[in-house]
Amino acid sequence: MSNADDAVLRPLGPEDPQEISGYRLLAKIGEGGMGSVYLSRTRGNQPIALKVIRREFAQEQDFRVRFEREVQAARRVQGYHIVPVLDHDTSGERPWLATAFVPGLALDDALAAHGPLPLPAVFQLIGCTAQALHSVHAASVVHRDLKPSNILLGSNGPWVIDFGIARATDTTQLTRSGGFIGTPQYMSPEHALGRTVTAATDVFALGLIAAVVATGRHPYGDGGGLSIAAAIANTPQQAPDLSGYPEPLRQLLERCLQSDAAQRPSPAELAEWCGRVAGRELRDFDGWLPEPLTAEIARRERSAQAQAQAQAQAPAQTPPPPAYTPTVAPEHVRPAYAPTQASAQAPGPVPPAYAPTQGPGHPGYGASTAPAYATPSYSAPSAQAVPAPARRSRVPLVVGAGILVVALAAGGTWYFTHNDEEGGAQQTAGDNKDKTAEAPKDAAPAAQSSGSTPAPQASGRTYTAVFKDKPVKFLAPREFGKVNAVDLDFPKVAPFGDIGYNDRELTMGYDSVESVTPFGKSRGATPEQCETGAATDPIPEKLPQSDLGGADSAIVQGDLLCTVTSKGNLAMVKIVGVEPSTDRLYKVPTYLTEVTLWKR
């Protein structure tokens, strides 16, 4: 890894589009075997990464069908240490995918620059990654391409990215011509032999990662990718020699690297075992990595955040003609609704943006200046407002607390795969169907002041009451990895997968509350006061359970919380009661509320 060039964002070139489906592209993050990734912004002024698929894949109708199905399934995946898919489109000339992002350092970069990790950090890393796989598999999705470049190290733990959309490429010219789908060094025996891939495949890959992270040595040697894949495929006849690995790492490897998939541990079992062996809580990330690595992560987070802010502040340039016709021509631009102001610190545990560099490297994402690992880099959000995307056939997503992640595959491996059960993917397509919603045409330009984001104008509007004081119970789940979503336009609270991303304003997690649209506190119950409060008195986008409940709680009885909803309406949530949690671990209270909605 080289620190000579800290830039992770590049200006758009004449071959790059200026807009995709109403999303204005601000800069280029990187490119790889499946396409190019661009920085953009949501209507809520949060950065996202848009990946535009290469033309040769886009021309394959089978690819489009599979891409749509696999991404729909992937959008159902939610959980801690997981980076969600936020939006996508397969109907235009070039299919695209948007993800969320957390600045950090790819695990392969960390190994190349700093060497193996201490065993306690290894077990914490593997345990957290196993928890992420548990969430992936719970949604009937198999990663299929788990490897060091698909794990980000952050100050708030590891994040799993790029759920391998390898299955979407199964019928493309790439595979018909004998191409390899997946990364050979981290395949399971069944994957290398072309047999059915199940959740146990990801556990095998995680075992290989554990060996490399702890010692720098791959259990199947240091040969080329295909020779290692051949050795892995031969595991039933000749198991790898694990005698050189220290205890208790060897115990983990012996279980995870079983040739019989049925003999491997489940991700939940593996996470529980790693928690015991690590000697600390898996979610205790205070000093979890060696100091040099911690400092490098912090440096990258600051650098990426500064670059993203500079891009947002740069005046709009007259763009060169786009390389291809935008999917939807912009009809009008709606002013960005004021998000909470970004702090000088790096974001907390929010979904990640993955920005690979270019050039040759191992079959991972982007290039590497180190001999063994690719060198992706990451970009962070800024507080500067950027014009929102123009209206298109669906509402542009509004990202809560964070920034985005996109992983670029150099060898034709990329985003989300599903197992052989078709029902889940079909159901997901129905559950996450995009709703059409018009952005208000009367939105006045937002006023700017130094050091703050623009706020919507509260004066001069006409408000029409849709409903008033509807009782809604904001109930947090009491199970690890579970999340409830809140749709204030309805209004209703339901399990995460039952409310589409474009319909959510808030999520109630097992250990935190996160806003998807920006919320603020109102000083009064009129719509004018509500909209002013939403813009001028923001609450944090993410509230951990430690900030909820008790006398110093960020949300207390009597509060009036206001937001502009995903459908462009104005919602006011009155907190009429707070019921403390009685759970020993998960302390997010239940909020009794009355919801009022106005059409703006």
Q: Is 60 exceeded by the pLDDT of residue 418?
A: no
The residue among 174 and 541 whose pLDDT is bigger is: 541
Cα separation of 13 and 324, whole Å?
A: 13
Cα separation of 40 and 484, whole Å?
A: 27
**Lowest model confidence (mean pLDDT) among 57-61, 224-228, 364-368, 574-578:** 364-368
What band does 266 get if pLDDT is binned at 50, 70 and 90? very high
Of the candidates 16, 109, 145, 489, the residue annotated as catalytic is 145
Averaged over 374-400, what is the pLDDT?
Answer: 33
Please tell me the predicted confidence (pLDDT) of residue 501: 66
Please tell me the predicted confidence (pLDDT) of residue 477: 86
Cα separation of 48 and 479, whole Å?
A: 29
Please tell me the predicted confidence (pLDDT) of residue 35: 83
Q: Is 70 exceeded by the pLDDT of residue 433?
A: no
What band does 70 get if pLDDT is binned at 50, 70 and 90? confident
Contact 353, 51 (CB under 8 A): no
Averaged over 56-78, what is the pLDDT?
Answer: 81
What band does 165 get if pLDDT is binned at 50, 70 and 90? low
The sign of the CA dihedral 119, 120, 121, 125 is: positive
Q: Is 60 exceeded by the pLDDT of residue 458?
A: no
What is the β-pairing status of strands 570-579 and 542-544? Answer: unpaired
Please tell me the predicted confidence (pLDDT) of residue 162: 73
pLDDT tens readout for residues 140-149 = 888 888 999 8
What is the pLDDT of the chain when averaged over all its residues? 73
Three-state secondary structure string covering 478-517:
CCCCCEEEEECCCCEEEEHHHCCHHHCCEEEECCEEEECC
Phi and psi based region of residue 409 (left: phi greater than 0; alpha: psi -120 to 50; beta: remaining): beta
Please tell me the predicted confidence (pLDDT) of residue 532: 87
Please tell me the predicted confidence (pLDDT) of residue 250: 97
The residue among 148 and 47 whose pLDDT is bigger is: 148
Active site annotation includes 145: yes
What band does 189 get if pLDDT is binned at 50, 70 and 90? very high
Domain residue extents for the chain:
19-431, 464-599
Cα separation of 321 and 307, whole Å?
A: 25
Please tell me the predicted confidence (pLDDT) of residue 379: 33
**Lowest model confidence (mean pLDDT) among 124-138, 414-428, 467-481:** 414-428
Please tell me the predicted confidence (pLDDT) of residue 560: 96
What band does 360 get if pLDDT is binned at 50, 70 and 90? very low
pLDDT tens readout for residues 275-298 = 999 988 898 999 999 999 999 988
The residue among 168 and 375 whose pLDDT is bigger is: 168
The residue among 150 and 323 whose pLDDT is bigger is: 150
Q: Is 70 exceeded by the pLDDT of residue 178?
A: no
What is the β-pairing status of strands 27-31 and 105-106? Answer: unpaired
Cα separation of 263 and 537, whole Å?
A: 54
DSSP 583: -
Of all residues in the chain, what percent carry a pLDDT higher than 70? Answer: 67
Please tell me the predicted confidence (pLDDT) of residue 340: 31
* Look-up of token digits 């020993």: 584
Please tell me the predicted confidence (pLDDT) of residue 181: 53
**Lowest model confidence (mean pLDDT) among 21-30, 103-112, 453-462:** 453-462
Residue type, 362: H
The answer to whether the peptide bond before residue 580 is cis (omega within 30 degrees of 0) is no
Q: Is 80 exceeded by the pLDDT of residue 596?
A: yes
Fold of 19-431: Transferase(Phosphotransferase); domain 1 (1.10.510)
What band does 435 get if pLDDT is binned at 50, 70 and 90? very low
CA angle 150, 356, 18 (to 5 degrees): 125
